[in-house]
Structure 1
Amino acid sequence: MFWAAEAPVVTVDPAQLAQQAVDSMTLLGPEIQIRPRPSGQGVVGMPVWMWTTKSAETYGPNSASASAGGMTVTAIAKVKRIVWNLGDGSSVTCTTAGTRYEKEFGKKDSPDCGTRYKEPSTTMPGGRYHVTATSTWQVDWQVNGGGESGQIPLVRSSEVDVKIAEVQVLN
């Protein structure tokens, strides 16, 4: 048995507590929504709309806390941007979740997250472009009651394949 005149001092690292809070969250890649649908077919030169379903797990905000040694740290995670690698060598960076496509939009471009393919996907493996959407999450953390704070960047990705065809016009 060990006896001490004073209780041992427990040192808690707030950044480590912040990481514990982050580890308790579910932070996923974007829940990809894209028009044309992956089961359908788009056309060269026509608008492609891209967005993610907004939830705590796919876009934020998402929060969690962790405690130890009388200290509590709260972390809040939000997506700052989504980079869409379009499978044709180009990419689009969106700072919003994107706008859900509705039929009444017709052939209009997406107001915040879209593109137009310039070439058909016929030369790609499986005849489809492999699209990767990568979310950059920013986690802001702070010791409750003031004190230290910081940020933790995280990256999560999702993938989908889309078929883009070329329309031939005959005279």
Structure 2
Amino acid sequence: MALPLAGAVTVSVLSGSAQADGGRVYCPPDGSPCRIIAEDTVTTPGQKGGDRGGSRQSGHSGGKPTCRDDSTGGAGQEVPCHLDGFGSWDSKTSCYYQLANPQPPAGDPAWEGRSPGDGAIYDAYCPNHDAGFLTQWFATPPGGAAQPVDPEVLALEAVKKMTLLGPDIASPKASGKFAVGMPVWMHINRSPNTFGPVTASASAGAVTVTATAKVSTIRWSMGDGTTVTCTKPGTPYKPAYGKRESPDCGHLYTTTSASRPGDKFTVTATSTWGIDWQGGGQSGQLTETRESQVEIAVGEVQVLG
């Protein structure tokens, strides 16, 4: 991230503040480098840009609150309450905060051992701190002011919690016996993580998004150059069905697998998950895919004379 708001500047000011082109010059009383703090450009009818919104209120009524940097001593240096790209001012820590977008993945050190959705990670810009930019976890939005939350980002976090898996292939089995011209019945074992529905939620501050996922199609790549798309988990085969073809998810091989590596076809089942989410006053759809594989041998029908 660039640092357009903080840095050493040369000015003819010993302490306090003065106006500079494009912003306010602030020189800390301890002699540390001066900084240019951009003026807030948000205005309301009948008001000037200096009447700002933020987390610390001024004494006059009817106008927007005023924000001050308490670390400057005395009454505090007035600062913009919001900076585009940096977030909203928190007078307690003298930093600007905004929700990190995207949120770090599970296991990232920023979560400090917590799970995504347990609070949220915020990017901080602290003009008067040596660190400058920080990334920190908060249970609630810092400064007590709601931070912008992208519900779709939370939807993606909810999807990560679901542990969506590829199809649990029950047939064809690697140990099965398959022959050219004989019907193959494909089906999977159903579970929430392999077929759905499965539901999970993620939260950031006061916003909670809930997502529900279920498999819409399973695309079977049979290894012989053909594909079969099924909208159902498939029907298990029973000996009583004889040579009948599957009513909802089947295939008929016309060649053997003898010319393939290991004398087997690699069958790949790819599930497409349709995900509906809602929260934060919005709703939408997402799509995820997962796959599983099995290798099967297909031979010629042996006729005994």
Q: Which has the higher contact order (CA 8 A, sep 6+)?
A: 1
Matched, 1:91 2:227: yes
> Which of the numbers 262, 279, 299 marks the counterpart of 1:126?
262
Unpaired runs of at least 5, structure 2:
1-54, 58-64, 66-143
Q: Bigger radius of gyration, 1 or 2?
A: 2
CA distance in structure 2 between the partners assigned to 1:9 and 1:164 by the alignment: 61
Deviation at 1:76, TM superposition (A): 0.2
Deviation at 1:53, TM superposition (A): 0.8
TM-score w.r.t. the length of structure 1 is 0.91
The secondary structure found in structure 2 opposite 1:24 is helix
CA distance in structure 2 between the partners assigned to 1:106 and 1:143 by the alignment: 50
Deviations 1:5-63 (A, max 9, x none): 2653311110011111111111000001214x311321100010101111100000000
Deviations 1:66-123 (A, max 9, x none): 1112111110000010000000000000011111122222211110000110001101
Matched, 1:72 2:124: no
* Contact 1:81–1:135 (Cα < 8 Å) also in 2: yes
Matched with 2:295 is 161
CA distance in structure 2 between the partners assigned to 1:107 and 1:54 by the alignment: 25
* Contact 1:30–1:134 (Cα < 8 Å) also in 2: yes
CA distance in structure 2 between the partners assigned to 1:9 and 1:76 by the alignment: 26
Compare the two structures and name the one with the higher strand fraction: 1
Matched with 2:175 is 39
* Contact 1:78–1:137 (Cα < 8 Å) also in 2: yes
The secondary structure found in structure 1 opposite 2:214 is strand
* Contact 2:146–2:205 (Cα < 8 Å) also in 1: no
CA distance in structure 2 between the partners assigned to 1:100 and 1:12 by the alignment: 46
> Which of the numbers 2, 19, 23 marks the counterpart of 2:156?
19
Matched, 1:148 2:148: no
Give the length in aligned residue pairs. Answer: 166
> Which of the numbers 243, 248, 255 marks the counterpart of 1:107?
243
CA distance in structure 1 between the partners assigned to 2:265 and 2:303 by the alignment: 23
TM-score w.r.t. the length of structure 2 is 0.52
Matched with 2:62 is none
CA distance in structure 2 between the partners assigned to 1:132 and 1:55 by the alignment: 19
Superposition RMSD on alpha carbons, in Å? Answer: 1.6
> Which of the numbers 53, 56, 60 marks the counterpart of 1:4?
56
The secondary structure found in structure 1 opposite 2:257 is coil
* Contact 1:11–1:69 (Cα < 8 Å) also in 2: no
**Runs of 4+ more than 6 Å apart:** none
* Contact 1:136–1:153 (Cα < 8 Å) also in 2: yes
CA distance in structure 2 between the partners assigned to 1:162 and 1:105 by the alignment: 21
Which AA in structure 2 matches 1:28?
L
Matched with 1:61 is 197
What is the percentage of aligned positions where both structures have the same residue?
51
The secondary structure found in structure 2 opposite 1:104 is helix
Deviation at 1:167, TM superposition (A): 2.2
Matched, 1:117 2:253: yes
